[in-house]
A and B are shown apart, each in its own frame.
Chain A
């Protein structure tokens, strides 16, 4: 039951270029979406979020876009830096019975110097 899907397991980009990480969801009750970054041997670190009333949220080099009709969100990192190399998880939650955070499988981002 993959309610949150990250279909690409990995992405490699050149330092300075844009990284675009994609995420799709199936549960229309989700109304809050988050991106987490995870280094080996550490827990997920919150990066940026967006609620369903918005279609874009920006924080420094990180921007999250939400397309509700397509049930799709993406994380843009620009410019990408080698320190951004990590596993990125998309997560979503709703209210009531859907209030737990549901994670995707993650995307491994490698930023080449």
Chain B
């Protein structure tokens, strides 16, 4: 069964450094998402992406965050200058259409900012 893949599985970075989290969505999917889960808290929406542009973003997704689909397969989340509170599991998800279609999630990247 096709799946969403994320790399790396764990990223450790120092505060103030830039990180790029990578995702390969399911190949025929058109809608892409980033969510995050801080330890012990709920899964939170960050951003949705369709047709090479952001469809929606949350208040968490400030100017330090950006997303890109650099080619036909990858979908990346960049954090320009990481803060301690960015430490979380970051999940990429994709869906083949809007509306009543489930999102399929990757296994996440654990980001630790020291």
Contacts and interface: CB of A to CB of B under 8 A. Distances in A.
Contact of A104 (B4, B42, B103): B42
A42 B89 CA distance: 10
A100 B107 CA distance: 19
A44 B91 contact: yes
Contacts of B55: 99
Interface residues of B, number: 25
Given A100-B56, A103-B42, A43 B48 contact: no
B58 interface: yes
A15 to B, nearest CB: 27
Interface size class of A (residues with CB under 8 A): 20 to 34
B63 to A, nearest CB: 20
Contacts of A43: 4, 6, 91, 93, 105-108
A92 to B, nearest CB: 12
Contacts of A49: 100, 102
A32 interface: yes
Contacts of B48: 99-100
Interface string A30-55: 00101010000111111001010000
B100 A99 contact: no
B104 interface: yes
A88 interface: no
Q: Which 7 A-B pairs have the closest CB atoms?
A: A43-B105, A46-B102, A103-B43, A100-B45, A105-B42, A43-B107, A44-B105
Interface string B76-90: 000000000000000
A89 B43 contact: yes
A102 interface: yes
A100 B58 contact: yes
Interface in A73-100: 89, 95, 97, 99-100
A105 to B, nearest CB: 4
